[in-house]
């Protein structure tokens, strides 16, 4: 497999398809179309149909290719997680047999320097998923130091958040921070590497700013809730995450929907018609095999969690109910 093809291959592709368990005549929803890896694999596996969405306008070219190849078996709409219910209503669809989510920034977005997601490539400090609204540079130019530190800590699990925020604000007072490498250099000075094989010091800070800027935690929660409500009985909800906090949101959401506290995740209900359980989660997160990690280093932090829809009506709860207070 060449490097370009590898960069566009979704992580845990075969594992996600196995979890979805696609069947001919059924309808599946790819909530993170990207470069079409999950959608195309599903459509090639059996005579099913796929609806795909993505808020990134740059994926339309690939979506058009799949439309030409698969015809009315495939439909793409530029949209985001929180609009899933509206998308289905507009299409006159009540129920779906499976959902796929691949959370976070894609390799394609990281490789495009002018999108501003990568701390390894020089580009404008942008980080917007849908290329509209406030940029990361605009956010950093006006934000209070304490608020920035809270964002880096809450959304990036970064222990050095206070020091990093202080360095950023100090540098901002000298000259504007407008590029990715400018920000990466500032963070590296505040949080230097201690080991050769350690992750880049700016990893968590870039991640935190991106998540905050795009309201990704609320989007993820709303996407999960919309998917659960739209699933047919026995339908599967599959989510791949690359960030520990996002994985906790998914795990806690599945636990809450199962009627079992996340602390007792190994004792999840096994009776399909359990009155408390709207979702029955698979008990363990699925991780990539060593071979995939060697071929694609992005896979090293990936986790797949999936759950099966029961006949019960979904429970109503909020992001705060699963331990994630909305942060402003």
Average pLDDT over residues 20-38: 96
pLDDT at site 157: 87
pTM to 2 decimals? 0.86
Higher pLDDT, 46 or 192: 46
Answer yes or no: is pLDDT of 227 > 60: yes
Q: Report the chain's mean pLDDT, rounded to a whole number.
A: 87
pLDDT at site 128: 87
- Domains detected in the chain: 3-107+216-322 (3.40.50.150), 131-213 (1.10.150.170)
Give the orientation angle of helix 244-258 with respect to helix 216-230, to 10 degrees. 30
Q: What is the pLDDT of residues 78-96, one digit of tens each?
A: 999 999 999 999 999 999 9
Average pLDDT over residues 176-193: 91
Answer yes or no: is pLDDT of 302 > 80: yes
Q: Report residue 125: phi and psi, to 5°.
A: -80, 85
Pairwise CA distance, residues 55 & 59, whole Å: 9
CB contact at 8 A, 53 and 77: yes
Q: What is the pLDDT of residues 137-183, one digit of tens each?
A: 999 999 999 999 999 998 888 999 999 999 999 999 999 999 999 99
Q: Phi/psi class of residue 104: alpha, beta or left (left: φ > 0; alpha: ψ in -120 to 50)?
A: left
């Amino acid at each position: 497999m060449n490097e370009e093809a590898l960069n566009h291959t979704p992580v845990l592709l075969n594992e996600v398809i196995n979890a979805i368990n696609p069947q001919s005549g059924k309808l599946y929803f790819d909530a993170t179309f990207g470069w079409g890896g999950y959608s195309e694999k599903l459509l090639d596996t059996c005579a099913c149909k796929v609806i795909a969405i993505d808020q990134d306008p740059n994926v339309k070219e690939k979506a058009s290719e799949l439309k030409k190849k698969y015809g009315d078996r495939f439909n793409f709409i530029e949209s985001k997680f929180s609009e899933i219910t509206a998308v289905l209503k507009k299409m006159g669809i009540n129920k779906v047999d499976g959902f796929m989510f691949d959370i976070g920034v894609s390799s394609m977005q990281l490789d495009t320097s002018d999108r501003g997601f990568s701390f390894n490539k020089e580009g404008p400090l942008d980080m917007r998923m849908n290329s509209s609204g406030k940029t990361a540079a605009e956010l950093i130019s006006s934000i209070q130091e304490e608020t920035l530190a809270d964002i880096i800590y809450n959304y990036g699990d970064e222990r050095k958040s206070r020091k990093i925020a202080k360095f950023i604000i100090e540098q901002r007072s000298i000259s504007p921070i407008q590029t990715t490498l400018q920000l990466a250099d500032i963070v590296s000075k505040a949080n230097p590497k201690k080991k050769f094989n350690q992750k880049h010091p700016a990893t968590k800070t870039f991640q935190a700013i991106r998540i905050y800027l795009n309201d990704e935690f609320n989007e993820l929660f709303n996407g999960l809730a919309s998917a659960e409500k739209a699933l047919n009985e026995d339908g599967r909800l599959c989510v791949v995450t690359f960030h520990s906090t996002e994985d906790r949101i998914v795990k806690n959401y599945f636990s809450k929907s199962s009627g079992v506290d996340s602390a007792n995740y190994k004792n999840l209900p096994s009776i399909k018609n359990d009155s408390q359980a709207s979702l029955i989660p698979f008990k363990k997160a699925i991780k990539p095999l060593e071979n995939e990690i060697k071929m694609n280093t992005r896979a090293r932090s990936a986790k797949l969690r999936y759950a099966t829809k029961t006949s019960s009506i979904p429970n109503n709860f909020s992001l705060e109910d699963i331990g994630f207070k909305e942060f402003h």
